Structure 1
Amino acid sequence: MHIAAYQIILITIYAFIAINDSLISNTLTQPAIAGMIAGMIMGDLKTGLMVGGTLQLMRLGIAAFGGASVPDYFTGAVLGTAFAVISGKGAEYGIGLAVPVSLLMLQLDVVARFCNVYLLHAIDKAIDQMKLNRIPRLVLSGSLLWGLSRAIPILLMLLVGDAAVTTITENMPEWLMNGLRTAGGVMPVVGVGILLHYLPTKQYIPYLLLGFFLAAYLQVPMLGISIIGVVAAMIVFKRDSEKISQVQNVTTTGTFEGGFSGDE
C-alpha cells in the first residue's frame, strides 16, 4: 500500500496540533489516541489501536519531571501505525519500528525545549526594555517551533517511507541499540516506582499482592486484572464514604453541655 498525499498532510497537521495540545491537556499525544487517529487516517483503525495501546502500556508511569525528557511514544505511535499499514506486515511490525523511533525522537524533544528557552530569554529581555508588542510574537514563535519539532520529522519520514527508517535503525551500532533497549525497559519500572512512592501504597498492600498473584501465578490478562481493580476501588470508595457519613452523623446529632449556651 502506498500512502496518499492527503494522508500525509492530515497526519502532519494532527502531529502539529497534538504536540501543542500537550502543553494544555496532554490528551491528543497519548499513544492510544495517537494510534487511533493515525489508524483512522490510514484506514485501519484496528492496527492503530493495537500499536497505540501497546505503546500506551510502555508509557504508563513515565513523566517528564522538571527538564527531563522521556521517549516520544506519541511520534512512535503515529509512525508505527502508518508504517504498519503501508507495509501490510501488521501491528507487530509497527510496534517493533515504533519503539526505536520513540527513543530516537527523544533528542528532538531536547532541541525543541532548547529553542523555547532561547525564546523565553528573548521575552525577558523584551519585558526589561518595555517592548511589549514583541511578546505575543515570541510566544507564538515558541508554539510554532514546538509544533514543527514533531510535524517536520513525521512529514519527512512519511515522505521517505519506512525503508529509510528501518535502514537507519538497523545500521546503528549494536552497543547503542542495546543501551536504548535497556533504557526503554528500565524507564517504565522507574516511572511506576515513582508513582508508588507518592501514592498511599502501604494502605493497599493486600491489593498489590492480589494483583501480583493473579498476573504471575494465574496468568490473568491485563483486562481481567483491571476489572478486579475497578471492583476493589468501588469497595474501598463505598467503605470510606460510609465512614465519612457516620462521622458527619455523629457531629450533627451530638450535644455539647456546659458553658454559656452550650458553646463548650
Structure 2
Amino acid sequence: MDLAVWQIILLVILAFLSILDALSLNIGCQYPVIIGTIAGIIMGDIKLGLAVGATLQLMVLGVGTYGGASIPDFVTGAIVGTAFAVISNQDVEFAIGIAVPVGLLMVQLDVLARFTNTFFLHRIDRNIEENNISAIKRNVLLGALPWGLSRAIPVFIMLVFGKRIVNLIVDGMPDWLMGGLKVAGGILPVVGIAILLRYLPTKKFFAYLLIGFVAASYLKVPMLGVALIGLALAIIFFQKNYTKQLAVTEGSNNIMVGVENENGEYED
C-alpha cells in the first residue's frame, strides 16, 4: 500500500497541531490515544490506530512535562507508527516498535524547538519596550512555528522517504529482533500502569483492584465490561460513604439543637 498525497498532508497537519494543542490549544489532540485513532481513520484502519494510540497512552501515564522538561513524544510516534504499520501490513507490535524510537527522537527536536523559539522571545521583549502591541501579537503567533515544524517536518520526511527504508527493515529484520519488539510492546504499557498505580490509593482500594484483575484475566470480561464493573463499584462506594457522612452530620446537628441544662450539657 502506498500513501496518497492527501494522507501525507493530513498526517503532517495532525503532527503540527498536536504539539500546539499540548502547549496552548487544549482541544484533546495531546493524547496518543486520540491522535492514534485519528491517524487510523486517515489511514483507513481505525482499529489499528486506536490500539497503537491506547498502548502508547499507557506508556505515558503519570508522565508530565513539568518545569519545561522534554519527554518522549509518543503522540508523534502514534502517527508514524500507525502509518507505517498500515502501509507495511503489520500489526500493533510492529507499530509500537516504530513509535518508541520516533518518540525518543522527538525529545531532541523538542529541545531544538525550544532553543529556536528564543529568537521570537527576544523580539517580543523589544516589542514590549517599544509598546508595539501588534508586533507582540505577531511574534507570539510566529513563535508557534518552531514547535509545529519540529513535528511536521520529521513526519513529512518519514512518510515521504521512509517507506522504502521501512520495507527494507521489515524484510531484513531477524526473528529475534521482531520478537524483542513484541516483548517490549507488551512490557512498556505495564510500566506505565505501574507508575500510575504508585500515585493512586492502591492499598486502600486493593480489593477493587483484585476484582478488576480477576474479571479481566480469569473471567475474560472485555474492557468495557471491566469499566462498567468499576463504575458500579464507584457508585456503591460513593453512596455508602455519602450515607455515612450524612448520618454523622445529622447526628451532630441533633446534639447542637438540644437545650442546655443547669450542668451546661445539651438535652433533647
Shorter chain as normaliser: what TM range?
0.7 to 0.9
Query: Residue type of the partner of 1:108?
Result: L
Indicate if the aligned counterparts of 1:69 and 1:110 stay in contact, CA closer than 8 A. yes
Larger Rg: 2
Shift of 1:141: 1.0
Helix, strand or coil for the counterpart of 2:12?
Answer: helix
Shift of 1:194: 7.0
Root mean square deviation of aligned Cα: 3.6
Q: Residues of 1 paired with 2:188 and 2:91: CA distance?
A: 27
- The TM-score normalised by the length of structure 2 is 0.75
What residue in structure 1 maps to residue 135 of structure 2?
134
What residue in structure 2 maps to residue 157 of structure 1?
158
Residues 67-146 of structure 1: pairs in structure 2 closer than 5 A: 67-146=68-147
After superposition, give the CA deviation of every residue in 1:88-130 in whole Å (9 maximum; x if it has no partner). Answer: 1233322221111111122112222223344334323432343
Decide which moves more: 48-57 or 217-226.
217-226
Decide which moves more: 16-25 or 249-258.
249-258
Query: Residue type of the partner of 2:149?
Result: L
- The TM-score normalised by the length of structure 1 is 0.76
Would the alpha carbon gap of residues 216 and 152 (structure 1) be closer, same or farther in structure 2, given more than 3 Å must change?
A: same
Equivalences, count = 248
Indicate if the aligned counterparts of 1:59 and 1:188 stay in contact, CA closer than 8 A. no
Query: Residue type of the partner of 1:13?
Result: I
Would the alpha carbon gap of residues 189 and 2 (structure 1) be closer, same or farther in structure 2, given more than 3 Å must change?
A: closer
What residue in structure 2 maps to residue 17 of structure 1?
17
After superposition, give the CA deviation of every residue in 1:134-166 in whole Å (9 maximum; x if it has no partner). Answer: 210111012222211211111111111334368
Residues 1-264 of structure 1: pairs in structure 2 closer than 5 A: 1-23=1-23, 24-25=25-26, 27-164=28-165, 189=191, 193=195, 196-197=198-199, 199-201=200-202, 203-208=204-209, 210=210, 214=214, 218=218, 223=223, 226-250=227-251, 254-255=256-257, 257=259
Q: Residues of 2 paired with 1:8 and 1:144: CA distance?
A: 19
Indicate if the aligned counterparts of 2:81 and 2:95 stay in contact, CA closer than 8 A. yes
Query: Residue type of the partner of 2:21?
Result: D
Decide which moves more: 188-197 or 27-36.
188-197
Shift of 1:39: 1.1
Q: Residues of 1 paired with 2:202 and 2:115: CA distance?
A: 37
Q: Name structure 1 gaps, 5 residues minimum.
A: 171-177, 259-263
